[in-house]
């Protein structure tokens, strides 16, 4: 049983190391715009049945099952709303409630982001701060003097020599049946997968989609106090598993000495 205890405690150490990595990443990205908290989910490993429960003349006999440790069931994302950061920059846009911006990278792949730091590239396209064009593509006239982004995603501009604004396009949002399972790929981007489901596209401020807020950005939803509390809990759990390993090792050493004698 001491050998089994060593294995079980080792799975506990591995699980807490992964939990620590998630907490570290959350704290490191506390100031990242649109960052969503990582959540480590655990599940028990398969149980070994040493004796089945059964009925007898003397009464029921309890079964005997032995656990074999813990495993990482998955890493999910908490898509709750982040903090509101007013920027007074006309191409900054925050998504309030549900939805992500759809973008394309240079490799042609489609990704999704909550980071609304937009700008105009050398071709006049509306892109993210990392030069990823948003979809559908929106071009800003070169003589634009003022840009307005409505809560419903409508983009209107005023150009040189014109006093009236004209609509030039509309920002669309994407939502998912299971956004917590979106795959993070870096650069504040997420990729769809089988678990998240396919993207459902729609207009902001319509049913199921959040509104857009110009001159603002969404901060991360990291609560540093909560993460520090989790950090302390991880340290304590890791320490306990370490003590189990030492205890099991001491028991094996004692048994070896007895057998040797």
pLDDT (tens digit per residue) in 176-232:
999 999 999 988 999 999 999 999 999 999 989 999 999 999 999 999 999 999 999
Query: Does 39 have pLDDT greater than 60?
Result: yes
| Least confident span in 58-67, 172-181, 246-255 | 58-67
Mean pLDDT, range 256-260, rounded to an integer:
70
Instruction: Give the Cβ contact number of residue 172 at 10 Å.
Output: 18
Q: Each residue of 104-142: pLDDT tens digit?
A: 988 889 999 999 999 999 999 999 999 999 999 999 999
**How high is the pLDDT of residue 14?**
94
Q: Each residue of 82-103: pLDDT tens digit?
A: 999 999 999 999 999 899 999 9
Read off the pTM.
0.84
**How high is the pLDDT of residue 1?**
54
CB of 82 closer than 8 Å to CB of 35: yes
Q: Kindly indicate the confidence band of residue 247, based on its pLDDT and cuts at 50, 70 and 90.
A: confident
- What does the domain layout of the chain look like in residue ranges? 2-51+60-79+222-260, 84-218
Query: Does 163 have pLDDT greater than 90?
Result: no
Q: In whole angstroms, what is the distance from residue 186 CA to residue 189 CA?
A: 6
- 221-226 long-range contacts (CB < 8 A, ≥24 apart) are 221/35, 221/36, 221/37, 221/78, 221/80, 221/81, 221/82, 221/83, 222/26, 222/27, 222/29, 222/30, 222/35, 222/37, 223/37, 224/27, 224/30
């Amino acid at each position: 049983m001491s050998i089994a205890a060593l294995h079980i405690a080792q799975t506990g150490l591995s699980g807490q190391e992964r939990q620590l990595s998630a907490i570290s990443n959350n704290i490191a990205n506390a100031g990242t715009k649109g960052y969503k908290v990582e959540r480590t989910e655990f599940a028990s490993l398969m149980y070994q049945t040493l004796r089945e429960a059964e009925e007898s003349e003397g009464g029921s006999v309890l079964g005997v099952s032995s656990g074999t440790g813990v495993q990482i069931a998955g890493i999910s994302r908490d898509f709750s709303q982040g903090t509101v950061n007013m920027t007074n920059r006309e191409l900054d846009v925050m998504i309030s409630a549900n939805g992500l911006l759809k973008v394309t990278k240079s490799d042609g792949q489609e990704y999704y982001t909550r980071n609304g730091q937009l700008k105009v590239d050398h071709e006049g396209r509306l892109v993210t701060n990392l030069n990823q064009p948003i979809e559908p593509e929106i071009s800003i006239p070169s003589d634009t003097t003022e840009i307005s982004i409505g809560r419903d995603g409508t983009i209107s501009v005023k150009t040189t020599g014109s006093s009236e604004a004209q609509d030039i396009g509309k920002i669309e949002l994407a939502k998912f049946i299971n956004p917590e399972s979106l795959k993070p790929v870096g650069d504040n981007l997420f990729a769809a997968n089988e678990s998240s489901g396919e993207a459902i596209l729609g207009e902001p401020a319509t049913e199921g989609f959040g509104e857009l807020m110009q001159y603002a950005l969404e901060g991360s939803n990291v609560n540093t106090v909560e993460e520090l509390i989790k950090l302390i809990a991880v340290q304590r759990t890791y320490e306990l598993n370490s003590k189990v390993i030492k205890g099991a090792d001491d028991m094996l050493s004692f048994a070896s000495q007895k057998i040797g004698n």
